[in-house]
């Protein structure tokens, strides 16, 4: 076999391996994507690129969506995320972040007093006394100290569940989830309001 033929055999072997390398890379990316989504359940939902973009995003699964019930009516109050001790704010939106598809991302009312999250909440979410309208009208987000002073409720949730996302936007789908008793949903463990210690005698 000539030197040229040896080089050609080497290239042919490499080309035969390329599809396997691409497949392996795809599997790695897919698994990593799933882990990130599992870790960040309750964060901003995945938004597919518009059809005219010419780009076909590949994801293994859409993140779960949150159905929840609160101790009071906080439907128009801005959510932020605090740490486990409820002493500091660890995540908050910019005023422009309160919009989704051109509309304020307030929750959707469901049956039985439950709400469908449209903003991105989790078990450590609390609500400010700023309304969506007030906060969205600001040029910049308030300081962390200002946000702390405007926390309205640190323990706002009665129940919270992660459920499969309905890509059609059918509200009745989520009402059926509620009617099923949240079958196949994951119930979120929520922190309870600390019970104050009795006064010392």
> Distance between CA 135 and CA 112 in Å, rounded?
29
Residue 161: alpha-carbon gap to chain centroid: 12
Identify whether 152 is part of a domain: yes
Assess whether 156 and 109 both reside in one domain. Answer: yes
Q: What is the pLDDT of residues 88-118, one digit of tens each?
A: 999 999 999 999 989 999 999 999 999 999 9
Residue linked to tokens 């801005």: 78
Asked if residue 155 is part of any domain, the answer here is: yes
Q: Closest by alpha carbon to 82, among 121, 133, 28? A: 121
90 and 22 in a single domain? The answer is no
Asked whether residue 31 is assigned to any structural domain, the reply reads yes
Q: What is the mean pLDDT of residues 143-156?
A: 96
In whole angstroms, what separates CA 136 from the centre of its chain? 20
> What is the per-residue pLDDT for 1?
54
Is residue 43 predicted with pLDDT exceeding 70? no
Evaluate whether residue 146 is within a structural domain: yes
- Residue 196 confidence class, pLDDT cut points 50, 70, 90: confident
Q: Residue 16: which domain range? A: 1-40
Take residue 142 and report the two structure tokens written for it.
Answer: 């308030």
Residues 78 and 111: their CA atoms lie apart, in Å, by 22
- Asked if residue 146 and residue 79 are part of one domain, the reply reads yes
At residue 150, the pLDDT reads 98
Taking residues 23-36, what's their average pLDDT?
38
Residue 27 in this model has a pLDDT that exceeds 50: no
* Gyration radius of the chain over CA positions: 24
Within-domain flag for 126: yes
Instruction: Give yes or no: residues 148 and 74 share one domain.
Output: yes
For 104, phi then psi, to 5°, come to -60, 135
- Name the band, by pLDDT with cuts 50, 70 and 90, for residue 193: confident
The arrangement of strands across the sheet holding 77-82 comes to 89-91, 77-82, 125-131, 151-153
CA angle 104, 110, 116 (to 5 degrees): 50
Based on the fold, state whether residues 74 and 149 are members of the same structural domain.
Answer: yes
The average pLDDT across 129-144 equals 97
Q: Does position 184 have pLDDT exceeding 70, yes or no?
A: yes
Establish if 180 belongs to a structural domain: yes
Could you give the CA distance from residue 135 to residue 146 in angstroms, rounded to a whole number? 12
Residue 11's pLDDT band, with cuts at 50, 70 and 90, is very low
Q: Say how many C-beta atoms besides its own lie within 10 A of residue 130's C-beta.
A: 22
User: What are the C-alpha distances in Å from 199 to residues 62, 192, 196?
Assistant: 50, 21, 9
Q: Is the same domain home to 10 and 89?
A: no
Answer whether residue 113 is part of any domain.
yes
Do 29 and 81 fall within a single domain?
Answer: no
Q: What is the pLDDT of residue 175?
A: 97
Please check whether residue 75 lies inside any domain of the structure. yes
Give the residues across from 126 on adjacent strands. 80
Domain count, the chain: 2
Q: 45 Cβ partners below 8 Å, 6+ apart?
A: 62, 63, 65, 120, 165
35 and 106 fall within a common domain: no
């Amino acid at each position: 076999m000539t030197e040229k033929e040896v080089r050609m055999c080497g290239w042919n072997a490499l080309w035969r391996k390329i599809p396997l390398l691409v497949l392996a890379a795809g599997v790695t990316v897919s698994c990593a994507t799933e882990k990130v989504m599992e870790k960040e359940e309750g964060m901003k939902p995945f938004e597919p690129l518009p059809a005219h973009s010419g780009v076909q995003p590949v994801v293994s699964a859409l993140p779960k969506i949150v159905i929840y019930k609160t101790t009071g009516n906080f439907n128009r109050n801005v959510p932020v995320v605090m740490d486990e001790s409820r002493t500091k704010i660890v995540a908050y939106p910019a005023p422009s972040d309160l919009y989704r598809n051109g509309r304020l991302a307030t929750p959707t009312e469901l049956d039985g007093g439950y709400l469908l999250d449209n903003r991105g909440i989790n078990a450590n979410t609390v609500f400010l006394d700023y309304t969506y309208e007030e906060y969205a009208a600001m040029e910049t987000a308030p300081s962390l100290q200002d946000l702390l002073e405007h926390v309205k409720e640190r323990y706002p949730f009665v129940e919270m569940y992660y459920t499969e996302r309905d890509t059609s936007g059918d509200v009745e789908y989520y009402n059926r989830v509620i009617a099923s008793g949240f079958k196949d949903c994951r119930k979120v463990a929520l922190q309870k309001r600390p019970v104050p210690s009795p006064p010392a005698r």
